[in-house]
Structure formats: C-alpha cells, structure tokens
Structure 1
Amino acid sequence: MDTGDATYIKQLNRRILIEEIIKNISLSRSDLSRKTGLNKATISAQVSELINEQIVVEKTEGESVTRGRKPILLEINGGAGYSVGIDIDEHNLHFVFCNLKGELFHKEGISLKTVDFDEVMKQLLDYLSPAVSTFNGQFEPIGLVGIGVGIHGIVSNENQIVYTPKQQWSHYHITNLLKEHFDTPVYVDNNANLSVFAEQVYYEHIPDLFCITFYSGIGLGIMNNYQIYRGYQGFAGEIGHMIVEPGGLPCPCGNHGCWERYASEKALQQHLKEWYPDDAPLETVQHLLQTNPDHEVMEQYLDYFAVGLNNIINIFNPEKIVLNGTIINGNTAFIENLEQKLVSKFNNYLEIRASYLGEDACALGGASVALKNFFGVNMLNHVNYHYFKSDMLKPKRSTSS
C-alpha cells in the first residue's frame, strides 16, 4: 500500500467515526468498533487524534452497566467551537450560532436599512464582528469553524451570487469579503437549499427530501442521496418562476405569470389588502382559515398553490415534502385543505408537512453546512438530539442596526 492509499484510508476511517459519534450523541470505543466494523487499534489511534484536537471529549457514564469500571463515552466537544449561519433576505439579516454539536445557542434578527449590497455588507460586518470576537473567547480552543450564508436568489456552484430578483444583485462575491474579515471558510447557497439541508439534519435524515419555502417568494430545495441537488451551475430549484398563468402578472425575473406571483405569502397578503385594506394581512389569513376557509381569496390562493405543488410531485415523485412559511407552519388545517386539491391519480408521496424549523431553517442550514465541512463528513445527523422539540431558545425581536 502506498502513502496515498494509506492517507485516504485514514481520512475515510476518521470520517466514519465522526459521523457515528455525531449521530449517536455518545459512544464507547467498543460501540464504535461494533457499529463501524473497524478494529480497536484503528479506533484507538483515530480517537486519540480527535481528543488531541479537542474535537472529541471523554465522559464517564453516570450509571455503570456492570460491576466493573464505568464505560468511557466519546462525544463531540460542543464547547470547543461554533459555526455561524446567515439568512440575507430583502428586509432582514437573520443570524444563528451553533456549537460543534449543532446546538443553537444564540440568534439575532436585524432590519436592513437598504438593499444596496455594500451597505448590507457593512451592516452584516458591524453586527457579526463583535459577536464573533465575543464567542471566540467563549468557545475555545477552536472558535469559529465556518460561516454559511443563504441568499434568496440564484447562487452558482462557485458560491457567486448570480442574481437576486428582489435586491437586483448580480455577480457579487460574499465569500472573499467574509473570508478575509474572519479568516474562516465561507459557504454561500440558495436559501431553499440551506432550508432543506437543515430539515434533513435536524428532522428527516432520509436520503431524498424536498422543502418549499413560501415567504416573499417561492424556492425549492432538493436533497438527493443526502446531497443538495443544484443542477447545472447551481440554478436548480427556482420553482417560483415556473409559469402557471401564461400572460399573467409580471415578475421581476422577466417572465409573466410566475407561480410566486400567485402562491407566495407576499402575493396572498397583497390580495387580502385589496379586500381588507385596514386589517393586518397575516391576522386576516388566520381569521379566514378559522372562520371562512372557502373565502374567494383563500380558495384562489389554494388553487394556485396546488397547481404548482401538483407539478412538483408529478415531475419528481418526492418521498416527503416540507412546506415552510409563516402561514403554513403550525397550521394543520391549511395542509389538509391543500391536499384535498391534489386529486391526480399520479400524485404519489409519503407525507406533506409543515416545517418545524420555520424562519430559522435557512440560517440553521448555513451553520450546518459549515459544521459538515469542518468535520469533513458526508452526512450530518442531529435528529437524535431533539433540539427543537421544545422551545429551546425564544426568538429575539428584530432590531435596527
């Protein structure tokens, strides 16, 4: 065996061990040997390196299973470092901070003053720089391991912003700016891609998963065999610009009749403003869903919603679809009404459900991508930690900066 082969095998074994430790929360060395099939000598050598790097720590089990010594368990050293996820939308910056175990320990929302790219970057750096300085002092010895950024638009496979319909950004590089400022790896992707990745990491560790985001626009994130599917040059998933009404309403993308002009939450709220100009759109939606779900506005909205969803199901035949939007999340009746309109005999899927991560999904996906790359693993699985089964961290109100 030459040196190249030995190095490759060593890296492969390291990846396998880290994936198992993350997935199972804590394991003994004998557990690792049994689950991975690796011999004890290999595990001992690899674990020693991970402990020396302070990526893994040893802990004694509280109760001994036998009369002998209490088993020594291995866990990821959550307090040694952290990652940052950032969701850049038209009007807000949303930050999340996760430790090496993937646990969210801080988040913040900031209202943007402008859509000008340079000004947005200034606001981002003005907030993030002191935050990173603070948390680097708390998470030692590794500190910041990476930053993942979500963009509501097209991002190339080279992390370049190709186009954002709302801000009209074109051919901008965020990666170089953040890398130089924070001296850490930076990953940029479409917000829907990061949202579906977060759903897979925290809730649905299945190889193929779809997530559709409905806020100001509509985006589709696709996990294919545990990997984000980006298509040729990263343009996959721009499902909001599927035409559902030929010659219909104009869209910033240049087409007419795009799905997001009829089925995004922004479109619904604008339509409701015409009917109820003095009422808050979101409250109006909730009221209509409870008292008059057959209202003309809601009925038309669900019709357009179903048209696009029907197309996605028939084209891709997904196992599970997660819908993420302010109106959808936590609203079982909405999805029940929607599924009644999916009547095609070709519609074949296991489940359609609302997101449990909500508006945090994109930023959590960014933080998770940074962790995945730091560990050098193929898959990141935090499902067994049950981080979001309870109100772990109440959201902070957006602030101006």
Structure 2
Amino acid sequence: MASSRDNAARIHHRGLVIGVDIGGTKVAAGVVTPGGRILARDRAETPDRSKSPKVVEDTIVEVVERLRRAYPVRAVGVGAAGFVDEQRATVLFAPHLSWRDEPLREALRSRIQLPVVVENDANAAAWAEARVGAGREAADTVVVNLGTGIGGAVVIGGELYRGRHGMAGEFGHMTVVPGGLRCECGNRGCWEQYASGNAVTREARELAAADSPVARGLIAAVAGTPSLITGSLVSELARSGDMACVELLEEAGGWLGLGLANLAAAFDPDLFVIGGGVSQSGELLLEPARRAFRRTLTGRGHRPEPRIVSAELGNEAGLIGAADLARDALPRWRQGRRQRRIGSAARIRGRSR
C-alpha cells in the first residue's frame, strides 16, 4: 500500500509546499498542492504573544516539522500580520506580536533547512484568491479584508503589487472622514473606523448601551450586557431578520462602497473581492456596498464597473497564498544557490593558484 509520502509525490512535479498563517495567538499551517488544495493541516497556540519572537519562531518550526514528516515538501511560505520588507525576509513591524525588524526568513531557514518566503498575511490571502479563489478569472483584482480592521492587497496583471517598500495595501488607513473618529494608528477618520468588524461591533454596543427600543434583539441576545456583542453576533441576528442588525450592516456596507469607489479611482480593477469575518454577512453587506459604490464611482455611467464579490477561500486563504508564493520563489532560490556555488568554486580556484 502506498504511503502518504508516495501519493503526495505524484501530485505534481513542482512538489508540495507548507503554508503558515501567523495570528496573534495561533500558528496555522498546511501542506498545499500547486492547485491550492490542502492535504494536511496543523495548528498550535502561541503560549504568550507578549513573549520574545523566539516563542513564535519555535511554534512555527514545530508545526512545520510535524507536517514534513509525512510529506516531501520543498519550501515554506509564511504569512505574517505586519509590515514585511521588499525582500520578503524581515518583519519590520507586527502590531499584534513583539516583532520589530525581525529577520524571520533567515531564522527559520537556518532551522528548517528549506527555502523560506515571508509575506504580509493580507498579501498572501489576496494572492490565493487571485490565483485559485474568487479572482481566478480576473486580470486585475483588489482584495479587501474586513476583520478587526481593514487590510488588503492588489494583484495587477497577475502580479502581486507590494509597493516600493513592501507596504502597499494598508487600505484601512485611508482617510474617508477628515477629523472623524480616532484610529489606533493615530490619525482620524480612517476607513476602518467605519466599515470594519470593530466598527460594526462599536455601533451595535452603543445602540444597546443606549437601551434603544430598536436594539431589543441585541440586548436580549447578550442578556443585557452590551460588552458581549460581537460582529459575528450582529451578522447572525441580521441573517435571522433583526432589523437593527440589518441596518448596522447596511451602514457599514455604505462606508465599504465609498472606500471601494476610491480604490477604483486609483486602480481600475476588474474585480473587488471582499474577505474577512465581516464578509460572511454576504449580500446583507455587499448589496448596500454596491449601491454606495455606484453612487460615488468616478465617471459612473460612462465606464465599466468592477464587480464586487465575496471571497471563496475563507480562513485558509492566507496559508494557501503563502505556500503558493513560496513555490513561485523556488526557481529564483535555486538560481541564487547555483550562483553562490559558482562564486565559491571560483574563490577556491583563485586561492589554489
């Protein structure tokens, strides 16, 4: 009987790659095929996110080593929440982890002994959606992830656009209301203060705390404790027909559409893909977003409109994308290794003369 290693080796001549998705409290990983299928998964909690980067590094190595025991993987791709430099080697700043100018690629490569690519997690998720998800038939795709904040990425002509310093895609910090609500980034009026999961949660809690008659369903769902309201609860109640929650999602959708119109003016994509936890509200969020988008789109009525659709890959997009980006980097890594070997041989010959 063939082993899982034998079966996996037959899948594709390019082989298998491990994708890793790092969150604030967990590390999730999977063995990913070139077609984006996950053959095996592993997950570990990071003991304490306030500890040194070594804690997260150790956790990554643990899950990778467990997965590679059964599969002949050729590289590792890591998606990290934070700013990653243009070499895809160093995490310059991670807001939810204690990484500051952390040389993560070299640290992992020296321990795992495989090629490693480090990428911003939103870029990785966007790449997965563009390659094998909702954007697979589009040439130019903008992916917007609605979670605690708003992140995203741009794929232009089949290439991931990272910006000169690897920091493109911080859409959530576009100013949409000058002098508006204070954002954690220090500015006011950022888009994520109006269209993110946190924004929906904040508005719902304020409505319940005011003991508004329209919030009876929300108040009952949390037994009179507004601090227990979450964005997921708002979405759940909206799907069941609670009108206050429907209105909260409509308001967030309006802000979403406004921001998307700004992005359309900048990038003119074929498609917007909306991912993240809030996107699970589906058409309750997306239809108001489309209406607001059409109202504010530059040149409306005289230009093709990008479609606005939900992401398809869910929480696994990050690790699928990270794996695919690492696979794409393999030829460059092999070329660099050959050049290093040639250089070393030349130096040895030079010394022996």
Same fold? TM cut 0.5: yes
2:12 to 50, 72, 76: 76
Alignment of 1:320-335 (within 5 A): 320-329=271-280, 331-335=282-286
The corresponding residue for 1:297 is 248
**Structure 1: any 5+ residue segments left out of the alignment?**
1-53, 58-74, 378-401
The corresponding residue for 1:60 is none
Deviation of the 1:157 alpha carbon: 0.1
* Alpha-carbon separation, structure 1, partners of 2:48 and 2:202: 22
Question: What secondary structure sits across from 1:327 in the alignment?
Answer: helix
| CA spacing shift, 1:188–1:363, aligned 2, 3 Å | same
The corresponding residue for 2:20 is 86
| CA spacing shift, 1:333–1:176, aligned 2, 3 Å | same
Establish whether residue 318 from structure 1 lines up as the match of residue 269 from structure 2.
yes
* Alpha-carbon separation, structure 1, partners of 2:231 and 2:137: 35
Letter matched to residue 351 of structure 1: R
1:186 to 116, 122, 134: 116
Aligned pair count? Answer: 300
Calculate the TM-score normalised by the size of structure 2: 0.75
Q: In percent, how many aligned pairs have the same letter? A: 24
Contact 1:286 1:327 in 2 (8 A): no
Deviation of the 1:369 alpha carbon: 1.0
Q: For each residue in 1:339-377, what CA deviation from the matched residue of structure 2 results, as whole angstroms up to 9, or x when unmatched?
A: 122223535434111011011111110011122223669
Aligned CA RMSD, in angstroms, stands at 2.9
The corresponding residue for 2:74 is 145
Question: What secondary structure sits across from 2:24 in the alignment?
Answer: coil
The corresponding residue for 2:349 is none
| CA spacing shift, 1:258–1:340, aligned 2, 3 Å | same
Establish whether residue 306 from structure 1 lines up as the match of residue 257 from structure 2.
yes
The corresponding residue for 2:49 is 115
Deviation of the 1:311 alpha carbon: 0.8
Question: What secondary structure sits across from 2:312 in the alignment?
Answer: coil
Q: For each residue in 1:209-261, what CA deviation from the matched residue of structure 2 results, as whole angstroms up to 9, or x when unmatched?
A: 11111112211211112111011111211111111122223323222221112
* Alpha-carbon separation, structure 2, partners of 1:154 and 1:201: 22
**Structure 2: any 5+ residue segments left out of the alignment?**
1-6, 209-218, 220-225, 334-353
Higher helix fraction: Structure 1 or Structure 2?
Answer: 2
Q: For each residue in 1:271-309, what CA deviation from the matched residue of structure 2 results, as whole angstroms up to 9, or x when unmatched?
A: 323324155541222212542267553343223222211
| CA spacing shift, 1:149–1:311, aligned 2, 3 Å | same
Deviation of the 1:201 alpha carbon: 1.8
Calculate the TM-score normalised by the size of structure 1: 0.67
Letter matched to residue 296 of structure 2: S
2:233 to 283, 288, 303: 283
Letter matched to residue 20 of structure 2: I
Contact 1:93 1:124 in 2 (8 A): no
The corresponding residue for 2:326 is 370
Task: State which drifts further: 241-250 or 358-367.
Answer: 241-250
Question: What secondary structure sits across from 1:363 in the alignment?
Answer: helix
* Alpha-carbon separation, structure 2, partners of 1:260 and 1:237: 13
Any runs of at least 4 consecutive aligned residues in structure 1 with deviations exceeding 4 A, and if so which? 54-57, 293-296
Contact 1:230 1:237 in 2 (8 A): yes
Q: For each residue in 1:123-171, what CA deviation from the matched residue of structure 2 results, as whole angstroms up to 9, or x when unmatched?
A: 4534643x444443433xxx23111111222211022222233446432
